[in-house]
């Protein structure tokens, strides 16, 4: 059984101290380390279950600097309510329906083990262009967030994350990119590129929905669209490669733009 070393009330107070202190105190850092050990244990249980289902999770546990930064960035947040202190990501070679089926299979597996869960559909409610389906598993009350992404959703998220590393994490929260005083007009270029990425996210959503529609027509026996579906399947695979190349090119251009002349 996974057990937190402190109560939820104490976790809330620990988060407040980490947020408000100029530098975290050593005892609080040790306490946070003990808390994260419990989250790591819960994460191991989640990953084992995902692997049993045939998925290949990539996991991570937030580090101290990231946690403190999040608490300071959003002062309404609390250490006890942050749901992604521990998390895993599953990238699926799948369409939107198969993505839903993967999420359902995982939720049913959690239920069989007596673990609770909640589902957050970021496809219907995207954040700064980010789309995926999240499951927050409750392992003995300890939340672990699992992101289920299609390949296209994952490519977009990876490239946007790369831009955020270059131009400021605030763009992930609808903020403006950092200015670059070393290049004339660079800020406008950055702003336009961020806008382009947000537009790409919408294009990906439309493309994935159209593929599901074509697949549904074939399932309904519409033989006339069979060739259209075959073309759509080919186009979807080709789209992954095109998007991967395009995003990598954009990210490389962003890196070059930031280098001194």
Say what the pLDDT of residue 180 is. Answer: 74
Q: What is the pLDDT of residues 205-260, one digit of tens each?
A: 988 888 888 777 766 655 554 555 556 555 666 667 767 777 677 767 666 665 54
Helix (H), strand (E) at residue 184: none
Say what the pLDDT of residue 260 is. Answer: 47
The residue among 152, 145, 146 whose CA lies nearest residue 96 is 152
Say what the pLDDT of residue 133 is. Answer: 98
**Complete DSSP assignment for 103-120:** HHHHHHHHHHTT-EEEEE
Q: Would the pLDDT of 47 be above 80?
A: yes
Residue 147, SS3 per DSSP: strand
Say what the pLDDT of residue 210 is. Answer: 83
- Fold classification of 8-150 is Beta Polymerase; domain 2 (3.30.460)
150 Cβ contact partners less than 8 Å away, ≥ 6 residues apart: 91, 92, 94, 95, 96, 99, 208
Distance CA 239, CA 207 (A): 9
Q: What is the pLDDT of residues 131-171, one digit of tens each?
A: 999 999 999 989 999 999 999 999 999 989 888 888 888 89
Dmax of the chain from CA atoms?
Answer: 69
Going from N- to C-terminal start, the domains of the chain cover 8-150, 153-258
């Amino acid at each position: 059984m996974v057990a937190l070393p402190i109560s939820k009330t104490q976790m809330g107070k620990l988060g407040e101290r980490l947020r408000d202190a100029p530098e975290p105190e050593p005892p609080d850092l040790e306490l946070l380390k003990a808390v994260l050990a419990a989250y790591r244990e819960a994460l191991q249980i989640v990953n084992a279950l995902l692997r049993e289902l045939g998925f290949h999770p990539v996991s991570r546990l937030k580090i101290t600097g990231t946690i403190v930064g999040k608490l300071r960035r959003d002062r309404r947040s609390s250490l006890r309510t942050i749901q992604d202190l521990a998390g895993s990501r599953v990238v699926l070679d799948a369409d939107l329906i198969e993505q839903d089926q993967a999420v359902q299979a995982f939720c049913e597996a959690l239920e069989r083990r007596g673990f609770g869960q909640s589902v957050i559909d970021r496809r219907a409610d995207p954040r700064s262009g980010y789309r995926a389906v999240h499951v927050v598993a409750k392992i003995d009350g300890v939340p672990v967030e699992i992101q289920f992404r299609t390949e296209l959703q994952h490519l977009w998220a990876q490239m946007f994350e790369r831009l955020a590393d270059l131009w400021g994490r605030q763009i992930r929260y609808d903020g403006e990119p950092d200015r670059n005083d070393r290049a004339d007009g660079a800020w406008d270029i950055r702003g336009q590129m961020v806008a382009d990425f947000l537009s790409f996210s919408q294009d990906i959503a439309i493309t994935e929905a159209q593929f599901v529609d074509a697949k549904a027509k074939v399932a309904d026996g519409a033989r006339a669209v069979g060739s259209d579906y075959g073309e759509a399947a080919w186009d979807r695979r080709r789209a992954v490669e095109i998007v991967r190349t395009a995003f990598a090119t954009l990210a490389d251009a962003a890196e070059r733009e930031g280098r001194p002349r």
